[in-house]
Chains A and B, each alone.
Chain A
């Protein structure tokens, strides 16, 4: 009983002014850890800039790409970042439609994670191009020459899918933030005042605005769900549409989507713990919500493991000798340590999430969530590279390890993502204020309904039910 009291989704006695104050202070005075993280991110970006300038000047050869290994870490990391973008949609759109209200304090930063990981992912196809300066040729722009991109190519589908998903998710992030931006506007000074005034689009919080807002938000959510599923399916068709052994796998689209949700949820746990620390948000990012996220992650981890086994089984019972050879090479070839690392991180480590004791232990969860994402990154690498090292033609069997340039750029992508995210959480409210208020209101109503009769009959007398104001949780609390 006592545990249940401690681990509540949110404390229903929170005052609305208190919510406003707590969230708004995140934009003013984070802990020192925040600034250290910013410095680390800038440092990592510096590495990537050095690597990219060198590669741009000299040629792709400096990345240790070679004749069978035309793709390597760049594409693997590209898939990784695309994958990470899926969890934001899961939390903000899918759980919104399913009325899971525990998502409310954490969906905003998850949605921001979606947008920024897409921005990071979008860099990789450019970085990996041999002639970066011609990358716009992939887009169907009007040209005198009358040349169109090749619509049969999965890479062109990628360009469409990612740009659509990026614009939609950025729009979704923005729309969901409008009532909160109005609160910020009412409290800000200086340049922030101007910024929030422009962005809040004249939000006053009247009934008509709320109605339109709700409708727009719901429509966007419904639009975004099939889009998110299709995006990673399309990314998977980069491989599934080829004829290479180990790539041409029919189950790749669901496998990629499951992997995407998996790594995204793991990243949410990481960022959850970081934000909770940076901004002292123990009241909002509660252990109960972390537990629910962990359970979700565990379920998705099992789906991913299952799809992984399906893939192995279908190769094993299939008739393609080349496919089998690639699979066996993953098990026991030169890439085997990374393969088993992926299995360990992706399928065994998540069992930690099955234990309540560990789910509530923040440092453990931090380590576990990072390990899960490491596993998912390895998974992407193990999709791309073993096939290239062992394709049909025996003369092209080759093992090549990425050079420092690739590692620098991959490391820098984490810095780039981290920097975008950190700037966002400092400039914008990364916990949804109005939805926290809704949540509190909802919980109070529940408490009144359920607890009052019991308490009335009990020895303790009447419950001190908090006064519930019957008005919409808008901006007036500011």
Chain B
């Protein structure tokens, strides 16, 4: 880092796109989640547990808030406090569901605060967490506005999976011991496998070739996963994927703190865009009769 960089405006280094930031992306994995299609069945969450060797902490610890569900289905009601005054109207409407996984922010707030750089941005546009490097200061989780980072408060890898069940662990991904932070990786092991295969065959990764466990499992196809590098940098000549098509259709752009929607049927939004975290996951608002 030169002196001229030091006296420059540092805020621009938070942006991946601009000069000085990260710009050698090979991919930029992203998602589009249609909340109209989400039925809140939790199949994605279960698939995530199976794919990523998530520890099942049990009811007691889960209630204490020590669970580690990388993908959680959040339930929201129209009326914030239901309790005693639950009316028939609200029951009729039921809950709104919001599947939340790591948003893989391009200007992730968790990355600059890690003292040992255990979380960093990969050339795949992913916000990676290096378990081996993590010392468990837990600052990243505190600084994540989405609260999508989970900490191993207990040691589970020895006794969480009793005898035959340990055979179902995914060998492509490690099991984490106590004291490290973990979070959704967009099934990075699947991405690696497909990328390696594509390289062996000397071709580019095709759209739809990588599927995360959640998007694969979703019975209604609410979760779309794919490469968004075309959105990020049109000059790289990456073909349009299903995800980029969705983003363009709903006129959601990267690198913005507020989206300009031209018509009401543009349902796309990103969570907490105003915080300038620039997430890679777009949600499509749920529409329903009132």
Contact = CB atoms under 8 A, between A and B. Distances in A.
A, B: real partners: yes
Interface string A382-409: 0000001001111110101000000000
A137 B150 contact: no
Contacts of B114: 150, 153
Interface stretch (B133-141, B215-223, B281-289): B133-141
B145 A66 contact: no
A138 interface: yes
Contact of A138 (B115, B143, B150, B179): B115
B152 interface: yes
A391 B145 contact: yes
Given A66-B64, A67-B67, A130-B179, A156 B115 contact: yes
A38 B133 CA distance: 40
Nearest to A242: B143
Given A69-B65, A70-B142, A129 B116 contact: no
B179 A242 contact: no
Contacts of A132: 179
Interface string B61-90: 100111100001010100000000000000
Contacts of B180: 130-131
A393 B145 contact: yes
Nearest to B119: A150
A59 B179 contact: yes
Nearest to A241: B113
A461 B100 CA distance: 91
A154 interface: yes
Interface of A is mostly: loop
A225 interface: no
B23 interface: no
A131 B179 CA distance: 5
A153 B179 contact: no
Nearest to B271: A393
Question: Which of A147, A388, A394, A395 neighbours the largest number of chain B CB atoms within 10 Å of its CB?
Answer: A395
Interface string A110-127: 000000000000000100
B212 interface: no
B238 interface: no
Interface string B134-161: 1111110111011100111111000000
Contacts of A137: 115-116, 133, 135
A385 to B, nearest CB: 11
Nearest to B153: A61
Contacts of B115: 137-138, 149-150, 153, 155-156, 159
A93 to B, nearest CB: 29
A78 to B, nearest CB: 12
A198 interface: no
A9 B220 CA distance: 82
A103 B143 CA distance: 42
A306 B113 CA distance: 30
Question: Which of A58, A147, A153 neighbours the largest number of chain B CB atoms within 10 Å of its CB?
Answer: A153
A261 interface: no
A274 interface: no
Nearest to A130: B136
Given A60-B178, A131-B134, A244-B142, A395 B116 contact: no
B155 A59 contact: yes
Contacts of B150: 67
Interface residues of A, number: 46
Contact of A60 (B67, B72, B136): B136
A129 B136 contact: yes
Interface in B176-233: 178-181
Interface in A127-169: 128-132, 134-135, 137-138, 147-150, 152-156, 159
Contacts of B153: 59-61, 65-66
A242 B74 CA distance: 25
A388 B114 CA distance: 17
B277 to A, nearest CB: 8
Contact of B146 (A58, A134, A393): A393
A59 B145 contact: no
B275 interface: yes
A423 B98 CA distance: 58
B109 interface: yes
Given A137-B135, A150-B114, A242 B109 contact: yes
B145 A153 contact: no
A127 to B, nearest CB: 11
Given A150-B112, A392-B272, A244 B117 contact: no
A452 interface: no
Contacts of A400: 64-65
B136 A138 contact: no
Interface of A: 58-61, 64-71, 125, 128-132, 134-135, 137-138, 147-150, 152-156, 159, 238, 241-244, 388, 391-396, 398, 400
Given A155-B113, A242-B113, A395-B100, 4 more contacts: A71-B142, A131-B136, A138-B135, A159-B115
12 contacts: A65-B138, A67-B66, A71-B142, A131-B180, A137-B116, A138-B115, A138-B135, A153-B117, A154-B113, A155-B139, A244-B142, A392-B272
Interface of B: 61, 64-67, 72, 74, 76, 100, 109, 112-117, 133-139, 141-143, 145-147, 150-155, 178-181, 272, 275
